Amino acid sequence: MFWYEDEVKRLEQERSKLPYQPKTAFYGSSTITLWESLYEDFKDFSPVNLGFGGSTLAACAWYFERIFAEFNEINSVIIYAGDNDLSNNRHPEEIYLFLFQLFDVIQKRYGTIDCTYVSIKPSPQRWYLNDQVKYTNMIIEKEIKKRGDQLYYIDIYDQYLDDDHRPDSKFFQSDGLHFNKMGHDILRDKLVEHLSALVLQ
């Protein structure tokens, strides 16, 4: 896991700059890290961006205690990761296990708080992994719905497909992998609706 060290050190340095104790943590890979408008988009939810580039769900579980060490008032965690695991030749069942390991360490630290997993997106660059993406999403969604315990699944997969049911390039940067502003805006709308509903529960 040593190749994530610089990114984790960056997060440790940045956390002292927040003028408030965050309530909602966004955690995961570059879909989170590169979300430039995240703090503005979720200002009503006291957010913190704890994404680190290239991260896998395995890395998210491994570094959780260190990254979250100074955040004592978190009541909701939004997670996006998994496509890097697949591109690193991890099997869907492994990703499933890493995610539920992460849920366990979150709830060990914070109690039964809201934990939301965002489905793996389809992307032009990794379309060759599509069958694995769909299967991974399916087994994770099924287990989350079975468990409850303030675990939630947000399905974004279909939102990024064109009329031919392939990834729509208008939502992605030129690399065909990372969201552009339009891509993030769709995710923002889904998550604002979700977080607002959680507040009303």
* Residue-wise pLDDT tens digits, 184-195: 999 999 999 999
* Residue-wise pLDDT tens digits, 116-153: 999 999 999 999 999 999 999 999 999 999 998 899 99
* Residue-wise pLDDT tens digits, 39-66: 999 999 999 999 998 899 999 999 999 9
- Domain extent at residue 114: 2-200
CATH classification of the domain holding 80: 3.40.50.1110
pTM over 0.85: yes
String of DSSP letters for the chain? -GGGHHHHHHHHHHGGG-SS--SEEEEESHHHHT-TTHHHHTGGG-EEEEE-TT--HHHHHHHHHHHTTT-----EEEEE--HHHHHTT--HHHHHHHHHHHHHHHHHHH-S-EEEEEPPPP-STTGGGHHHHHHHHHHHHHHHHHH-TTEEEE--GGGGB-TTSSB-GGGB-TTSSSB-HHHHHHHHHHHHHHHHHHHH-
Domain count across the chain: 1
